[in-house]
Structure 1
Amino acid sequence: MNTLEQIQNFEGKYPKQIWSLFFSEMWERFCFYGMRGMLVFFMIDQLKFEETTANLQYGATQAFVYAFTFVGGLFADKILGFRKSLFWGGLLMIVGSLILATDPKQFFFLGIAFTVVGTGFFKPNISTMVGKLYRNDDSRRDAGFSLFYAGINLGALLGGYLCIAIGKGEMLSTVIPEGARWNVAFGLAAVVMVISLINFVLTQKSLGPIGLQPQQILSDGSVKPFEMWKEYGVYVLTLVFVPIIMLMVAVPEYTDYFMYTIGPVVLIYLFFEMSKVTSAERKKLYAALVFIIFSILFWGIYEQAGGSLSIFAAKNLNKDLLGLDPNGVNNSAGAFFIIFLAPLFGLLWIWLSKKRIEPNTVVKFGLGFIFLGLGYYVLFATRLFADLQGVTSLNIFTIALLVITFGELCLSPIGLSIMTKLSTDKLQGMMMGLWFLASAYGQYVAGIIGANMATAKEGSTNYDALIAYTEGYKQLGIYALIAGVLLIIIAPQVRKLMQEVK
C-alpha cells in the first residue's frame, strides 16, 4: 500500500489518484444534477404544484441536501472515515433513485429523502480525499480542484440534460412510452450511481491510508481496536433520519424552523472546537468563516438555475440554440462551459503563480461575485429580445450562463480548496461540511427569492411574467456586484487572518 508521503510526492501537474475520484464524482453528479434539474418542472407539470410552492419545495430539498453534508462530514471525521461514508451515501442515493423510478408521483418525497441523506454522506468526503492528495504547501492544489470540478460538471452536463429531456419527452420519445418517461429518467440516475460505486471500489487501493476509519492511538503507541457498534449505530441512525427528512421537505414551514436553528447551533459547536486549537489555527478558521458567509449570498443568487430559471426556461425561452430544449440547456450549459474552462482556469492560476501575479483567494472570490452580477445583468437584458408573447432568445440566455460560469470558476473550486487549507487536521470533514451547510442556506434563500418572483406574476400574462422575472434578476445582479467590490476591499484584512495560506 502506498504511504501518504509517496502519494503526495507525485510528479507532474496532477496525482494519478485524482482520476479515479474524478470518475466516481462524475457519475454521482450525473445522478444529483439529473434529479435537481427535474425537481421544479416535475412538481409543476406532474404533481400540479403552484409555482410559488414548487420554488419553496425546491429550496427546502436542496437546503437539506447541503445541510446533511455537515452531518455526513462529522460522521466521517469521527466514526466511518471518508471511504465508508462515501460508499454508504452512494447506496442510499441508489435506493432513493430506484424508489422514484418505481412510482415518482406516489413516492416522490420518500425517494427524495433517501437521496438527500445519501448525498450528505457522499459529497463532502470525496472532496476532502482530493485535498489529502496534496501537501498543505503544494501550489498545484488549486489546479487539482479545478480538474476535479471539471469531473463534477461532466456528470452535471450529461445528467442535467438527459434526465429532464427524457422526462419531458424531448428525447427518446419514440422508444419510451409516455407513461414511463419519468420512471426511466429517475431510473437512469440509479444506474449511473451504481457505476460510480463500482469505480470507487475498484480503485480505492491506490489511495493508501487516505479515507480510512479514524484510529485511536493509546499512550503506549498501540492502536485501540475500533468499536464496530459505533459504525452500525451510524447506519441505523441514518435510516431513522429518512422519514424525518421526508416530513421536513414535504412541509416547507418545517424547513424554516430547521434553518433558523441549525446555523446558530453549528456555529456554537464550531466556536467550542475552536477553543481547543492554537491562536494561529483559530485565525485561519475565522478567515474560513468569511468565505463561508459570503458563499451563502453567492449560492442564493446562483441557484436560481434550479428554481426560477427552470420556470423561466419552460415558459419564456425559444429554441433558437440548435433546437435544444431550453430546460435542458438551463440545467447543463454551465457544466458544458466548465468542462472546457475549468482546466484552463487551473493552468491560468499556475501560470500567474509562476509570474508572482496570481490574485489571492479573497480577490478571486470577489471576482466570482462580479462575474455573477454581470451574468444576471445579461439575464435582465433578455427582455430586450422578447416578442409580445413574452418569449425571448435562448442564445442570449446561454451567454448569461457563460458569464455566470466565469464567476463560479473563480469561487467554487477555490472554495473547496481553501476549506482544506484553512482547516486543522481534526476538523477537515467538519469544515468541508460547514462549507456545504453555507450552500444549504444559499439554496434556502434561492427558494425564497424564486417564490417571491413567482408571486409577483400570478394572474398576469406571459410577457408580464418575463418583465417580473428579469427585473428580479437585475436586482440580484446589483447585490452580487456590491458583494464583489466589498470582498476586494476587505481582502488585505482577510489575508492577515490566513497567514501563510495562499
Structure 2
Amino acid sequence: MSLTLDEIQNFKGKYPKQIWSLFFSEMWERFCFYGMRGMLVFFMISQLNFHEKEANLQYGATQAFVYAFTFIGGLFADKILGFRKSLFWGGILMIVGSLILATDPHKFFFLGIAFTVVGTGFFKPNISSMVGQLYKPNDSRADAGFSLFYAGINLGALLGGYLCIAIGKGELFANYIPEELRWHLAFGFAAIVMVISLINFVFTQRSLGTIGLQPGHPDSEIKSAPIPKWQEYGVYVLSLIFVPIIMIMVAKTEYTDYFMWIVGPLTLIYLFYEMTKVTPSERKKLWAALVFILFSILFWGIYEQSGGSLSIFAAKNLNKDLLGLDPNGVNNSGGAFFIIFLAPLIGLLWIWMSKRKIEPNTIIKFGLGFIFLGLGYYVLFATRFFANLQGITSLNFFTIALLVITLGELCLSPIGLSIMTKLSTKNLQGMMMGMWFLASAYGQYVAGIIGAGLATAKDGSTNYDALISYTDGYKQLGLYAVIAGIVLILISPFVKKLMQEVR
C-alpha cells in the first residue's frame, strides 16, 4: 500500500484529502438515489394511476427496503466483501436498475426499483464507513468531515432531485425531449451518473491505503484468514436472488408490514448477541448508539414526508412564486440546496465551539435537530394562511419551512453518521452503520404510514379541503418533534455517561 493508516489519519488541516474523492463518488450516487426518490410518488399517481394513500404506502415500502438493505450490505461488507468491493457491486446493481427503468418505466417499474434497492444497500453504508476510518478515534475534526461529506450527498440530491422530476414532468427541456421519452430519460440520467461515480471510485482507491480492504487481505489492518472465493461469489448470487423477492414485497405493501415487524426484533437480538462479546465499556457505548438509533426512527418518519405527502402537496397546493421554479423540483431539492451552503459552515461552527469548550454534546445536538424539525412543520402549517380559495399557497413560504427543517437535519444526520463510527467497536462498524440506516428504513416505513394517514380528503372534496387536511397533519407532526427534542435534551446527562469519552 502506498499509504499507511497512520499517514492518512495524521493529516494536517481541517479535512483529509481522501474525503474529496469519496465526496464526489457519493455525490453522483446520491444524484441517482434522490432523482428516483423525487419521482416515485408523482410517477405512481400520474403515470401508474395509484391513489394518493396507496402511493404513500408504496413510497414508504420502497424507501424502507432501500435503507433496510443497508444493514445487510454493511454486514456482508464486514464479514466477507470489505467496503470497497461491496460499494462497487452495489453501484453496478444500481446502474442495472436505472437502465431497466429507462427502458420502460411503466412496464418494469418494480423490477428496476428492486435492483436499485439492493444496490443502494451495498453502496450506501460502506462509503460512510470509509469516511469514518479517515479519522483517528475521538478526532474532534470528524464531525466537520462528515458535515462536508454530507454536503456532497446533498449536491447530488440537489441536481438529481430537481433535474429528474422536472424532466419527467416536462418542466425542463420540453421543446427538445418528446413527451413519450421524458420519463425514460429522467430515469436514464441516474444510470449515467452512477457510471461516473464508479469510475471516480476506481481512482480514489489508490489513496485509501488499507481502508476498505476485504477481510483477510494481506494488507488489512485486522489480520485474519483469507475469505474463500466461493463465499464472495455466494454474496453476489444471493444479492441477485434478493431482487425478485424485494420486487414482490415492494409491490405488495402488506408484505412490507410483515418484514418490518420481523426484521427489527431479529436485528436487535443479533446486536445483543454481539454485545455479549465486547467489554463492559464498549457495551455502554453500544447502548448509547441504540438510543440515537431509536430516536432517529421518529425523526425520519416526520422528516421524510418530503418524498411522500409533501410531493402531493407541492403538485396540488403550491404556486410558482419562487423564480418560476417547479414546486415539485423545489420540494425535492430545496433542502439539499440549503445544506450545500450550511453544512460546511455548521461543521466549522462545531470546530470553533469545540476549541472554546462550549460545543454541545451529540445528544443535545440531536435534541436541537428535533426542535428545528418541529418548528419547520409549524411553518408548513402556516402556509394555509397564504392560500387562495383554490387551495394554492406560496412556494416562497414553503421554502422557508424547508430551510428550518434543514437546520434540524444538519444537527442530526451528519452527526449521526459520525457518532456511529465513534461508538462502534472496530469489527462492528459496518453493522452499526447498517443499523443506523435500518433505523432510517423504519423511519421511511413510518413516513409512508403517516403520509397515507394525511391523505384524508375524501373523493370529491375541494383542493382547499386537501390543503387544510394536510396542514392540520403537519401541525401535529411539529408538536411531536418538539416534544421528542425536549425529551432528548432532558436525558442527555444519562446518555453522556454511556458514551464515556466519546463526544
TM-score bracket, normalised by the shorter chain, equals: over 0.9
Measure, in 2, the Cα distance between the counterparts of 1:42 and 1:330.
15
| SS, match of residue 455 in structure 2 | helix
Q: How does 1:368-447 map to 2 (within 5 A)?
A: 368-447=369-448
1:256 aligned partner: 257
CA distance in 1, matches of 2:438, 2:405: 22
For 1:442 and 1:53, locate their aligned partners in 2 and report how far apart those are by CA, in whole Å: 18
Aligned to 1:224, the other structure's residue is in SS state coil
User: TM-score, normalising length from structure 2?
Assistant: 0.98
Cα shift at 1:457: 4.2
Distance in 2, Cα, partners of 1:379 & 1:204: 44
Residue type at the aligned position of 2:441: A
Give runs of aligned pairs for residues 13-412 of structure 1, distance below 5 A: 13-215=14-216, 224-412=225-413
Letter of the aligned partner of 2:276 in structure 1? S
Structure 1 stretches lacking a partner, 5+ long: none
Work out whether residues 215 and 224 of structure 2, in 8 Å CA contact, stay in contact via their aligned partners in 1: no
Within 2, Cα distance between the matches of 1:435 and 1:57? 22
Cα distance in 1 for partners of 2:232, 2:226 equals: 13
Give the distance between the partners of 1:136 and 1:305, measured in 2 at CA. 35
The separation in 2 between residues aligned to 1:456 and 1:237, in whole angstroms, is 43
Separation in 1, partners of 2:82, 2:129: 11
1:223 Cα offset (Å): 5.7
Alpha-carbon distance in 2 for matches of 1:260, 1:222: 37
The question of whether the paired residues in 1 share the 8 Å contact of 2:215 and 2:226 is answered with: no
Could you tell me how far 1:458 is from its partner in structure 2?
3.8
Q: Distance in 2 between matches of 1:113 and 1:140?
A: 37
Alpha-carbon distance in structure 2 between the residues aligned to 1:267 and 1:225: 29
Among the aligned pairs, what percent are the same residue?
Answer: 82
- Contact 2:390 / 2:464 at 8 angstroms: preserved in 1? yes
The normalised TM-score by structure 1 is 0.98
- Aligned AA for 2:99? L
**Which residue of 2 is the match for residue 500 of structure 1?**
501
* Structure 2, unaligned runs of 5 or more: none
CA distance in 1 between partners of 2:227 and 2:264 (Å): 31
Q: Is the CA contact 1:157–1:333 (under 8 Å) kept in the aligned structure 2?
A: yes
Deviations 1:449-487 (A, max 9, x none): 000111344431100000000000000000000000000
Cα distance in 1 between the residues matched to 2:141 and 2:50: 47
Return the alpha-carbon distance in structure 1 between the equivalents of residues 301 and 225 of structure 2: 45
Partner residue of 1:480?
481
Can you list the C-alpha shifts for 1:79-110, whole angstroms capped at 9, x where unaligned?
00000000000000000000000000000000
- Deviations along 1:418-477, whole A, 9 cap, x unmatched? 000000001000000000000000000000000011134443110000000000000000
| Matched letter for residue 198 of structure 1 | I
SS in 2 for 1:70: helix
Give the counterpart letter for 2:113 in structure 1: I
Post-superposition CA distance 1:298-345 (Å, at most 9, x none): 000000000000000000000000000000000000000000000000
RMSD (Å), alpha carbons:
1.0
Count of matched residue pairs: 499
Following the alignment from structure 1 to structure 2, what is the Cα–Cα distance between the partners of residues 405 and 226? Answer: 42
Contact between 1:457 and 1:468, CA under 8 Å: does it hold in 2?
Answer: no
Measure, in 1, the Cα distance between the counterparts of 2:200 and 2:416: 26
